[in-house]
Amino acid sequence: MSKQTALYQNHLDANAKMVDFAGWDMPINYGSQIEEHNLVRTGAGVFDVSHMTVVDVSGEDALHYLRYLLANDVARLDADGRALYSAMLNDDGGVVDDLIVYRMSFGYRLVVNCGTRDKDLAWMVKQTSGFSVHLSERPRLAILAVHGPDAIDKVCDILPEEQVEPVKQLGNFKGVELGDWFIARTGYTGEKGLELIFPEELASDFWGRLLAVGVMPVGLGARDTLRLEAGMNLYGHDMDDSVSPLAANMEQTIAWDPEDRDFVGKKALLKDKELQASGSLPILTGLVLEQRGVLREGQKVQTDCGEGVITSGSFSPTLKHSIALARIPLNSSSCEADLRGTMTAVRIVKPNFVRFGKKIFE
Amino acid sequence: MSNYPDNLKYASSHEWVLLDDEGVATVGISDHAQDALGDIVFVELPEVGSEVNAKDEVAVVESVKAASDIYSPLSGEIVAANEALVDSPETVNGQPYDAGWFYKIKISDETELDELMDAEAYSDHCDDD
């Protein structure tokens, strides 16, 4: 039996093409994923991401527990509502999942991937040993992401009056609890916008009101091309349990300071640091193909320093050519991709292609 | 619901054929095919003047989802290719049976047409997909 979010019927009403996503019936597009992608870059789009896993962490050791569980340091969240992006590592220093953690009035809220739910929950429970902490999964919360240059204005058009100012005042990576709702400036598109986490029985009505003020429904197909343009990783593709965050463009998310903080995977990560220093750890970087053709996950690449592989690839609707993330040997300066049997020159660039609708690489 | 015009013939690999009075067939891909592929971003067309046999790989469609080979339903000489698809590949998604045509072929063997399906048979074939 497939799982469905509270917005299942709304998706059908909007002519969604539904597909299976990790056991959930989700909308891949509502007609054209390229049109939806462009709408998010130029107007405002709404994504139903209620299939993702929300876990609330409370209890007297919540802070200590999370400082041990996560590779980034939640002690940096110096006010309620602040968020950070973190890897959750295993003992070998591989990535169990990537996630956003928000500091809340009651403790912390983690939003982890849908496909990794069972693995993540089992792992998180296992790590509670020795900590006085309470984990509470929140399956009855809906999550809507509204992104694009017009997104915040449009959401504010339909929020209750007293919520508008607090929302308008939010800085990047900051959220605010408003009654049963939690609204934050986080996202997966590279555009300004909001993620709203709230009781699912209100989702259908809120969705309808968003559409009524001109916010367009956007499916998972466009979500993938948007995040790729923004250089954001997709778990299970750009990294997994066997990949070090240092080989997945996640170095900035590791909080090495303070040095006396122990966290799961730290020992292994220190070894990875040595491998990196000696040049034997690969890096995750960007590739662009400015001629006709599409770079795709799984394609092998050959650089002047050895072999690599494309971990995520697609056509970029904003740039109108193909872009990819690839794991290649450190210090590579030239690269060719095996496109359907033909070795094709590609350019190595920083793994970040578009920001606020504009190309940002040379 | 996909659309299958009655006046066309169809191959099991989802290409459609429209034969004119002068032995020239126009070939494209069906509504079912463009829908399954998703947004099309590049189309590689055959060279005008080239000779092809039925079932030869004659074109390539790259969509956001995957690359797909297009197989010629008929044998003959390619007499025209739809250059408009080079700049506007999305035409195949929007108008698969009209402006989204791929190429025209002067057919060399009329009996090959008998192996193609009519709209009803093709519709059943798609339902089994």
Partners of A340 on chain B (C-beta within 8 Å) are 60, 67
* CA distance linking residue A93 with residue A272, whole number of Å: 8
CA distance to partner chain A, nearest, from residue B1 (Å)? 11
The yes-or-no verdict on residue A199 having pLDDT over 60 is yes
8 Å CB contact of A225 and B41: no
* CA distance linking residue A89 with residue A219, whole number of Å: 29
A176 Cβ neighbours under 8 A, 6+ residues apart: A81, A166, A167, A170, A182, A183, A184
Distance of CA A127 to CAs A92, A115, A271, Å?
15, 20, 22
Partners of A221 on chain B (C-beta within 8 Å) are 38, 64
CA distance to partner chain A, nearest, from residue B67 (Å)? 8
What integer pLDDT is reported at residue A187 of this predicted model?
96
pTM of the model: 0.95
8 Å CB contact of B42 and A340: no
What integer pLDDT is reported at residue B1 of this predicted model?
56
How many residues in chain A?
362
8 Å CB contact of A34 and B62: no
> Angle at Cα A116 formed by Cα A110 and Cα A122, nearest 5°?
75
A1-55 pLDDT, tens digit per residue, is 899 999 999 999 999 999 999 999 999 999 999 999 999 999 999 999 999 999 9
Distance of CA A21 to CAs A83, A113, A114, Å?
26, 11, 9
Domain harbouring B54, CATH code: 2.40.50.100
Does a structural domain hold residue B110?
A: yes
Query: Do A326 and A284 contact (CB within 8 A), yes or no?
Result: yes
* CA distance linking residue A186 with residue A184, whole number of Å: 6
The residue segments making up the domain with residue B48 are 12-115
What integer pLDDT is reported at residue A207 of this predicted model?
98
The yes-or-no verdict on residue A342 having pLDDT over 60 is yes
A292-341 pLDDT, tens digit per residue, is 999 999 999 999 999 999 999 999 999 999 999 999 999 999 999 999 99
- In single-letter form, the type of residue at position A56 comes to D
**Which of A19, A30, A315, A339 has the highest number of chain B CBs within 10 A, making it the mutation to test binding with B?**
A315
What integer pLDDT is reported at residue B2 of this predicted model?
72
Quote the number of domains for chain B: 1
Q: Cis (ω within 30 of 0) for the bond into A149?
A: no
Place of tokens 């099309």: B40
Flag whether residue A34 sits within 8 Å of chain B, measured between CB atoms.
Answer: yes
The yes-or-no verdict on residue B129 having pLDDT over 80 is no
CA distance to partner chain B, nearest, from residue A187 (Å)? 22
* Eight-class DSSP state of A270: H
8 Å CB contact of A29 and B38: yes
A145-157 pLDDT, tens digit per residue, is 999 999 999 999 9
Partners of B93 on chain A (C-beta within 8 Å) are 32
- Smallest Cβ–Cβ distance between B42 and the set A32, A294, A296 belongs to A294
Nearest residue to A246 (alpha-carbon basis) of A269, A277, A223, A227: A269
- Cβ contacts below 8 Å, chain A against chain B, sum to 30
- Smallest Cβ–Cβ distance between B42 and the set A292, A296, A314 belongs to A292
A350 Cβ neighbours under 8 A, 6+ residues apart: A231, A285, A286, A361
A111-165 pLDDT, tens digit per residue, is 999 999 999 999 999 999 999 999 999 999 999 999 999 999 999 999 999 999 9
H/E stretch holding A226: helix A220-229
- Report the share of chain B in percent with pLDDT over 70: 99
Token representation of residue A107: 């403790």
- Smallest Cβ–Cβ distance between B39 and the set A32, A292, A293 belongs to A32
Partners of A292 on chain B (C-beta within 8 Å) are 42, 44
Query: Do A148 and A45 contact (CB within 8 A), yes or no?
Result: yes
Does a structural domain hold residue B1?
A: no
Does a structural domain hold residue B60?
A: yes
Does a structural domain hold residue B6?
A: no
SS3 state of residue A46:
strand
Mean pLDDT over B62-70 rounds to 95
Mean pLDDT over B92-108 rounds to 97
What integer pLDDT is reported at residue A357 of this predicted model?
85
* CA distance linking residue B125 with residue B129, whole number of Å: 7
The yes-or-no verdict on residue A231 having pLDDT over 60 is yes
8 Å CB contact of B64 and A292: no
Does a structural domain hold residue B33?
A: yes
Concatenating the DSSP letter of every residue in A109-127 gives EEEE-STTHHHHHHHHHHT
8 Å CB contact of A296 and B64: no
- Smallest Cβ–Cβ distance between B67 and the set A34, A294, A314 belongs to A294
SS3 state of residue A131:
coil
**Which of B34, B35, B39 has the highest number of chain A CBs within 10 A, making it the mutation to test binding with A?**
B39
Beta bridge partners of B51: B77
Does a structural domain hold residue B2?
A: no
8 Å CB contact of A294 and B93: no
Partners of B66 on chain A (C-beta within 8 Å) are 296
B88 Cβ neighbours under 8 A, 6+ residues apart: none
* CA distance linking residue A102 with residue A106, whole number of Å: 11
CA distance to partner chain B, nearest, from residue A314 (Å)? 6
Does a structural domain hold residue B7?
A: no
- In single-letter form, the type of residue at position A104 comes to M
8 Å CB contact of A294 and B62: yes
Q: Which residue of A has its CA nearest to B60?
A: A293
Does a structural domain hold residue B61?
A: yes
Partners of A314 on chain B (C-beta within 8 Å) are 64
Helix orientation angle between A151-158 and A161-168, rounded to the nearest 10 degrees = 160
* CA distance linking residue B102 with residue B97, whole number of Å: 10
8 Å CB contact of B44 and A292: yes
- Report the share of chain A in percent with pLDDT over 90: 98
Query: Do A150 and A43 contact (CB within 8 A), yes or no?
Result: yes
User: Which region holds residue B122: left if phi is over 0, alpha if psi is between -120 and 50, else beta?
Assistant: alpha
* CA distance linking residue A116 with residue A113, whole number of Å: 6
Mean pLDDT over A230-242 rounds to 98
Query: Do A202 and A140 contact (CB within 8 A), yes or no?
Result: no
SS3 state of residue A186:
coil
Mean pLDDT of chain A: 97
What integer pLDDT is reported at residue B3 of this predicted model?
86
* CA distance linking residue A204 with residue A8, whole number of Å: 9
The yes-or-no verdict on residue A211 having pLDDT over 60 is yes
Flag whether residue A32 sits within 8 Å of chain B, measured between CB atoms.
Answer: yes
CA distance to partner chain B, nearest, from residue A27 (Å)? 13
CA distance to partner chain B, nearest, from residue A348 (Å)? 21
Distance of CA A135 to CAs A91, A108, A140, A343, Å?
21, 10, 15, 50
